[in-house]
Chains A and B, each alone.
Chain A
Amino acid sequence: MGRRVLAGLAVLALSATGVASAQTIRPWLHVQVDEGAKSKVRVQLPLSLVQIALAAAPDTVFSDGHFRLHTGDSKLSVVDMRKMWHELKGAGDTDFVSVEDGDETVTVSRKGDLVLVRVDSPGKKESVRVDLPVSLVDVLLAGEGDKIDVQKAFDEIAKRRGDVVNVKDAHSTVRVWIDERS
């Protein structure tokens, strides 16, 4: 009887620990910017704090949880991007866009559940690596008109773990990633 009580208490204690751990687990956004040896910036914030700050963004950009994407003079509107995405999404792992312009190569492709954006300029020693979850692109382009639902996009980003952005040029590196460590 005593052993059963002890075993029960042990299970209860482990469960409580699990619940407590689950409650305290929170995603952190990390930003690291290095410009040679003279400038280093490190920012690490819980995503919940970033979300609160986003809510304070100017009304012209962020209104009622929606972000308006102005494509300016670009001929590619958000509506066009949305249509393209709906058509390409079902294609599976593939290159969506591949552009070579002089020394610069831009590719947008899908690999598994990620959309990979790669920009390489060997001559300028620049490279950009952006990995976006397919689910995030879905959310970003799920709205109507030129609106993007930031809240939903944020909820998707919060699920991501690992590198989101990696940029290197001749003089600086930028890395943005999400994990569960402060």
Chain B
Amino acid sequence: MLLKAVGVLSLATVGGLASMDYAVVDVKEGGPGGTRIVVPVPVLLAEAALSFAPEHAREVPLDEDARKWLPVVRKMAAELRSIPDSELVSVQDDGSDVRISKVGDHLEIRVHDDDDVVAVNVPLEAVDEVLGSVRGGKLDVRAAIGALHRASGPLVDVRSGDDHVSVRMF
């Protein structure tokens, strides 16, 4: 009986862990002997951990400029979600290439500059959720972390020379 209970509990734990959203941070140092660090962070645990953090760590005060731009950015994110997939901005200048596109529910930012390649995918729904959490001029960090549940796939990918940093949601 006890064995069965342990077995069920183990399966439930593994199943629970497997069904969680994870942010995987992967940092790879190039060159011979370069180190690699891969850190999977269960988003739910990060949210839970924040509950124990002091209040000043759970809220980020926004300055006056940021508060002024907040409703504009929310409206722009909402508008972007309603338009068809399109390349919005493209700049090629002196060897660098910058493109901003709306693809699906993301804003994709791609930058190629000599040895540097940056790819950022901003989930627009998450932007709305994060900015919507602002109360009294303060950003709710827990809501910002929770918004990661809305994201999937690569969020940030930066290559500089032989170094590579990526953050992906699973």
User: How many Å lie between the Cα of A45 and that of B86 in the bound state?
Assistant: 9
Report how many residues on chain A are interfacial, defined by Cβ distance under 8 Å: 18
When the two chains form their complex, are residues A39 and B87 in contact, meaning their CB atoms are under 8 A apart?
no
The residues of B that contact A48 with a CB separation of less than 8 Å are 79
Asked whether A65 is an interface residue with its Cβ less than 8 Å from the other chain, the reply is: no
User: How many Å lie between the Cα of A44 and that of B86 in the bound state?
Assistant: 9
When the two chains form their complex, are residues A49 and B79 in contact, meaning their CB atoms are under 8 A apart?
yes
When the two chains form their complex, are residues A41 and B79 in contact, meaning their CB atoms are under 8 A apart?
no
Report how many residues on chain B are interfacial, defined by Cβ distance under 8 Å: 18
Interface hits, A46-72 → B, CB 8 Å:
46, 48-49, 52-53, 55-56
Query: Which residue from B68, B84, B92 sits with its C-beta under 8 Å from A39?
Result: B92
When the two chains form their complex, are residues A56 and B69 in contact, meaning their CB atoms are under 8 A apart?
yes
Asked whether B89 is an interface residue with its Cβ less than 8 Å from the other chain, the reply is: yes
Q: How far is the CB of A117 from chain B (nearest CB, A)?
A: 27
When the two chains form their complex, are residues B76 and A39 in contact, meaning their CB atoms are under 8 A apart?
no
Asked whether A21 is an interface residue with its Cβ less than 8 Å from the other chain, the reply is: no
User: How many Å lie between the Cα of A100 and that of B101 in the bound state?
Assistant: 44
User: How many Å lie between the Cα of A38 and that of B79 in the bound state?
Assistant: 32
Asked whether B115 is an interface residue with its Cβ less than 8 Å from the other chain, the reply is: no
Asked whether A182 is an interface residue with its Cβ less than 8 Å from the other chain, the reply is: yes
Asked whether B88 is an interface residue with its Cβ less than 8 Å from the other chain, the reply is: yes
Query: Taking beta carbons and an 8 Å cutoff, which residues of B are in contact with A?
Result: 68-69, 72, 75-76, 79-80, 83-84, 86-94
Query: Taking beta carbons and an 8 Å cutoff, which residues of A are in contact with B?
Result: 24, 26, 38-46, 48-49, 52-53, 55-56, 182
